[in-house]
């Protein structure tokens, strides 16, 4: 194999920068809408994971998005922490909103973009190439007047005319862009094509050495990770990815797969950084032992279950069913394992906590696990811990993770479950009695329903009380740990007006967990319909309104 070494660019960090867009592109997954507390919890965990950049959201989209980005900039943006970034279309209103949202962070970035492919220009933007060549330098220069760190993206770059792409990139860098992002927006390209695109940009953009080349890509053909790794070989030094690969349509390039590929095959990729193949220096700044916990948190809060055979973080990723494999692993794990499970934070660690444990012990264990809870949140989590300890003899880290991840779903809840009672059996009709509290007017109502099973009866009763029409499209349940007394995790997804909303809950009683998960999904639906949000890729600039900026807390 012939290895082509490209000269290091002056802006080249000498390693791979990990740009996490879970809170922006990942949240655009159907049903993955997150509230403020959930976004903040994920942002704190991303900082512990060691990502270089957190794209916290699209501030112009809605007051809620603005507030979330601003809160993350305040709470997570630190001198030694990640860069806090916001997305903005190439318009002054978007860029101004983005700046105001990220301004509290010591390290802040404005990420602005415009489409460059003819199909997007003609059918979406209804603009000419000449229009784009005027907009790009003007808007990048405006962003640069607000912050030093400006990223510019050529949306749908993989389907753009290369010569036009080079011209746009040159103008963006001349106007002050310090990072140039090359997105495979629709997951169209293949590894060899994407590698060549990055190589050709390096060769044909005269001032490319003044910027870091970044890549963003979707997984529509299942090639996103392969495309990114090929781009690294050809000079890309920032990878834009998400936890569990969530995102639009088939999702984004998966952070955990990229990081572990670069970790496990470091000796191969070292050559492309002018390093000795045996160099021990990591290629990313990611703390790999935080990967599993981050994956579980994102899965729990978004309601998007990780498939069992998912690389790195799937339930079966380190399981061996074949007798031949089992025999080999017992003799030497290297026979069939290329990754030590402990490297990604996967362990069966059990703790000595039970119903006699105090608040200090619980707080200390949560802090060891990386959770920094406020006094009020700790009190609520401890109450849930004591309730669980009365029903379950042994509390594990996974149990605590389930408690904390559910805890942050509670804010902005219109409905709260007050009572649930079910009756079922092979000789009786499944019946559910539900009491639901409406926190807006502080009223409580009760309904009784019959269903095909206890969960169906519960959902019927909740629909009677909530009076929010919807269609249940997914119900899944799994155990958090082993044993008859294990917590059961339930994920429910409902649909209304072609939009999907998810809810998640855990309890030793799966029917109770199902009821709470359904209530969480209903709360997301109600909250979402209050928001007047726009989509960063599909809404026209002319239809935008930034009236909320004068009072972003509304």
Structure tokens at 330: 């017992």
Residue 122 is given by DSSP the state I
Which pLDDT score, from 0 to 100, does residue 345 have? Answer: 86
| pLDDT-derived band at 55, boundaries 50, 70, 90 | very high
| pLDDT-derived band at 552, boundaries 50, 70, 90 | very low
Residue 133 is given by DSSP the state H
CA 546, 549, 552, 554 torsion-angle sign: negative
Structure tokens at 201: 């940009």
Which pLDDT score, from 0 to 100, does residue 333 have? Answer: 60
Q: How far apart are CA 491 and CA 475, in angstroms?
A: 6
Q: Given strand 428-438, what is the order of strands in its sheet?
A: 415-425, 428-438, 443-450
Q: Which of 140-154, 287-301, 357-371, 470-484 has the lowest mean pLDDT?
A: 357-371
Beta bridge partners of 419: 435
Which pLDDT score, from 0 to 100, does residue 1 have? Answer: 40
Q: Which helix (H) or strand (E) holds 115?
A: strand 108-115
Q: Given strand 471-479, what is the order of strands in its sheet?
A: 471-479, 488-496, 499-507
What are 345-369's pLDDT values in tens digits?
Answer: 876 554 557 777 888 888 887 777 6
Contact 292, 346 (CB under 8 A): yes
What proportion of the chain, given as a percentage, has pLDDT over 90? 61
Which pLDDT score, from 0 to 100, does residue 398 have? Answer: 74
Mean pLDDT, range 2-9, rounded to an integer: 42
Contact 384, 407 (CB under 8 A): yes
Contact 226, 311 (CB under 8 A): no
Cα 365 vs. chain centroid, distance in angstroms?
25
| pLDDT-derived band at 27, boundaries 50, 70, 90 | confident
**What per-residue string of b and e applies to 510-524 under the rule 16 or more CB within 10 Å gives b?**
bbbbbbbbbbbbbbb
Q: How far apart are CA 70 and CA 462, in angstroms?
A: 35
Which pLDDT score, from 0 to 100, does residue 42 have? Answer: 93
Which pLDDT score, from 0 to 100, does residue 550 have? Answer: 43
| Strand blocks (E) in 357-470 | 415-425, 428-438, 443-450
Q: How far apart are CA 172 and CA 540, in angstroms?
A: 21
DSSP letters for 185-244? TTS---HHHHHHHHHHHHHH-TTGGGSEEEEEEB-TTS-HHHHHHHHHHTT--EEEEBGG
Cα 428 vs. chain centroid, distance in angstroms?
44
Residue 384: CA atoms inside 13 Å, Cβ hemisphere, count?
23
Q: How far apart are CA 101 and CA 82, in angstroms?
A: 16
- In this structure, the number of other CB atoms found within 10 A of the CB of residue 412 comes to 16
Which pLDDT score, from 0 to 100, does residue 271 have? Answer: 95
Which residues are CB-contacts of 269 (< 8 A; sequence separation ≥ 6)? 229, 232, 233, 262, 283
User: Average model confidence (pLDDT) for the chain?
Assistant: 87
Residue 425 is given by DSSP the state E
Which pLDDT score, from 0 to 100, does residue 58 have? Answer: 96
Domains of the chain: 17-302 (3.20.20.70), 359-407 (no CATH), 415-530 (3.30.160.270)
Q: How far apart are CA 359 and CA 346, in angstroms?
A: 26
Using left for φ > 0, alpha for ψ between -120 and 50, and beta otherwise, residue 506 falls in beta
Residue 542 is given by DSSP the state G
Contact 18, 55 (CB under 8 A): no
Q: How far apart are CA 101 and CA 85, in angstroms?
A: 9
């Amino acid at each position: 194999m012939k290895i082509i070494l490209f000269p290091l660019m002056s802006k080249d960090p000498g390693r791979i920068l990990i740009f996490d867009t879970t809170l922006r592109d990942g949240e655009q997954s159907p049903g993955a809408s997150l509230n403020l507390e959930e976004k903040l919890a994920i942002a704190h965990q991303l900082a512990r994971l060691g990502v270089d950049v957190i794209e916290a959201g699209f501030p112009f989209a809605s007051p809620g998005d603005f507030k979330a980005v601003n809160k993350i900039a305040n709470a997570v943006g630190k001198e030694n922490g990640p860069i806090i970034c916001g997305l903005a279309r190439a318009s002054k209103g978007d860029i101004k909103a983005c700046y105001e949202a990220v301004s509290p962070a010591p390290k802040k970035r404005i990420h602005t973009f415009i489409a460059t492919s003819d199909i997007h220009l003609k059918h979406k933007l209804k603009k000419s190439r000449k229009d784009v060549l005027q907009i790009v330098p003007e808007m990048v220069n405006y962003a640069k007047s607000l912050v030093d760190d400006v990223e510019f993206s050529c949306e749908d770059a993989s389907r753009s005319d290369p010569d036009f792409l080079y011209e746009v990139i040159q103008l963006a860098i001349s106007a002050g862009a310090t990072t140039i992002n090359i997105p495979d927006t629709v997951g169209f390209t293949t590894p060899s094509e994407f590698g060549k695109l990055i190589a050709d940009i390096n060769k044909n953009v005269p001032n490319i050495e003044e910027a870091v080349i970044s890549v963003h890509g979707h997984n529509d053909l299942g090639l996103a990770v392969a495309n990114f790794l090929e781009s690294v070989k050809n000079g890309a030094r920032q990878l834009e990815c998400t936890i569990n690969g969530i995102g639009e349509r088939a999702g984004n390039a998966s952070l955990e797969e990229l990081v572990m590929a670069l970790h496990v095959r470091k000796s191969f990729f070292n050559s492309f950084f002018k390093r000795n193949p045996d160099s021990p220096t990591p290629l990313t700044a990611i703390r790999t032992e935080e990967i599993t916990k981050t994956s579980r948190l994102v899965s729990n809060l978004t309601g998007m279950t990780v498939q069992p055979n998912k690389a790195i973080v799937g339930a079966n990723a380190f399981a061996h069913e074949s007798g031949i494999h089992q025999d080999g692993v017992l003799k030497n794990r290297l026979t069939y394992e290329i990754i030590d499970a402990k490297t990604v934070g996967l362990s069966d660690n059990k703790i000595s906590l039970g119903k006699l444990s105090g608040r200090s012990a619980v707080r200390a264990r949560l802090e060891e696990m990386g959770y920094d809870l406020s006094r009020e949140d700790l009190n609520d989590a401890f109450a849930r811990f004591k309730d669980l300890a009365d029903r379950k003899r042994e509390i594990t880290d996974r149990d605590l993770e389930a408690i904390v991840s559910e805890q942050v779903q509670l804010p902005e809840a219109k409905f709260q479950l007050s009572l649930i009672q079910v009756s079922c059996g092979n000789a009786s009709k499944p019946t559910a009695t539900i009491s639901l509290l409406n926190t807006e007017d502080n009223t409580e109502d009760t309904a009784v329903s019959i269903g095909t099973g206890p969960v169906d009866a519960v959902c019927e009763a909740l629909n009677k009380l909530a009076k929010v029409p919807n269609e249940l499209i997914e119900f899944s349940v799994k155990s958090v740990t082993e044993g008859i007394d294990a917590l059961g995790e339930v994920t429910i997804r409902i649909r209304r007006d072609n939009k999907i909303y998810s809810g998640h809950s855990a309890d030793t009683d799966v029917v109770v967990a199902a009821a709470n998960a359904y209530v969480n999904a209903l709360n997301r639906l109600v909250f979402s319909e209050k928001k007047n949000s726009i989509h960063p890729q599909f809404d026209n600039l002319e239809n935008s309104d930034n009236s909320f900026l004068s009072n972003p807390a509304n």
